[in-house]
Structure 1
């Protein structure tokens, strides 16, 4: 607290020394103090540090620059972007450290402050309630049970595990007499929280839904939806691979091009139905109730859960029909740029690398989609979610170690059928 009360060391009046970097001589810029309030500078070492991470940095490997801002010091004055990268996203190691610093200085919101600012009888009452809540939470965690109920209203016959267990606990100890023959009654509180995706209108610090709820109840802690975090992680990791990133860009271009008008969508559906009928007549496919229904391409989005899997799945099923639409555009399109674009994308689709990426991404998304669907269930418990996460990781590792031959054979068969 003494460190935080004093604040980061920011010697504005210091004559920062210049050092050769590349073709220039560069130095620390005092303007950075205003832009990065957490930044402090060591005159002795001519290096910069992060006060919040120095005090509370979690052990998360190299995230946020590793030990650069806590031990070794930052002095690459040429790359200011490193300072922005250090802050990272909302749940980065830096922001977690900043939150801990804020909580430490805001003692009036701490449980200990609330308890010890009351009379001894009130303190005992608080301890009784808190102990009851923690006992029930430990029981539910140990058994891997969900906390929330489908209907927690007072009229509900089953308000969920936490409320029902708390009510049972309260009934067991309700109005019992102590040794002095005084009535002692246990009062039980229910814990609340809020969780959704990380969009600014939802989790924004100032005007988001999260901020509006916290103004009404400062104890309604916000948790980023696990399913949305999974989606963002998959997309972020995939984009770091050049081949996959190029594939996703081409995929988005083709989906937008084919779905640009109602006429093209109608041609796509007609061509798809024709292909299905041909395969049914040649017995390449067998019909069944609910199979081969009318469909169209779906656009994917980084913030829409499962949208990439839906796009890739329909793209595989409608591959021949998409080729037909692109061919029509390249031959009969009104604008020359549209015709040339359609021709390029048709050539991209008939490239082995594109087909391989299509099936490769499909295999990965099928595995992660099971976890994503499970994380979105209202009755999901944290222990079961962690178990499903481990199963997902094992399935991905098995695909990596043992899935090559099957995947490659499927790609080869797909290419041969379509003369690629």
Structure 2
């Protein structure tokens, strides 16, 4: 291919606003690499994320319902794809860098354990004396150390902007805008000392778009999955400001529509209303601040990608409803409590007998300080899929684990 054509391919032809991330001005990577003649730095990040082992593992990791409860429930992978689709819609509407937005959306759940938040709670308890466990921090460990695919470095060697989005998509980790009482997870603090990510500031708009897309996706699809599981009934949605108003609209427009199509019609409108609210609200906030570049976004005292106050109240109401009727439902909690015990027992066994870990994992484990040994065990456990964790339990304890 002609070199002049190649030179043009490495810069995205999509129009970006001045406040968006500019790939040609990326702050680089921990390990310097020659630029690609055909892809921007953020396109390369996106591609590396999609081709990683950690991305494939999301296919068999629980979102809310464990796999044998049904084939149509969301997994971490399908959730991630939904988040990515919504995030790209925001990037296009607000003239952000679509590839960076997609990269942050695709990588945001890499660090999740088997069995969803139940596995994370269990590992955090197991690691209480060794710096704790946090899935965002684990995502960072995966992309900076645990993925081993390249000849010249461990991890994926992602760009500064993608790493910043991964670490800070939920907001600053230190300073007046950080969540009170939450220390910086040790893996993040250690990496920040090596490659500073500006933990006191908000992330760029691309990461903010990915974060709010996560909220939109799970608030909608957890309602959908809750209905599918029979934990909530269609009429129960009437008590919700947002979903209830949509339910009334759909029934008025299609009084004879069957329940399956009614549910789908509600969910697609649910996403649309949330997305349109965010676009209007965020465009107004960006116009008010008028940031001259991405650094001005980071220096702002609040996120600019947000719901309107009215919609934020509706989202919080939906979250409370989901906690009460789905996440804390006794049938779900029973499965999750058993999953937590399974993870804790696996952790204890591997700490006691690290030689039982397969492959290269147990190498030199006996000589490691106990904190580093615990972190390696946590790395191994957090990388497991649900099915692999169940198989490992059966191998180690000669018992077929039953979560139901």
| Structure with the largest fraction of strand | 1
Q: Which has the higher contact order (CA 8 A, sep 6+)?
A: 2
TM-score when normalising by structure 2: 0.27
Structure of higher CA gyration radius: 1
| Structure with the largest fraction of helix | 2
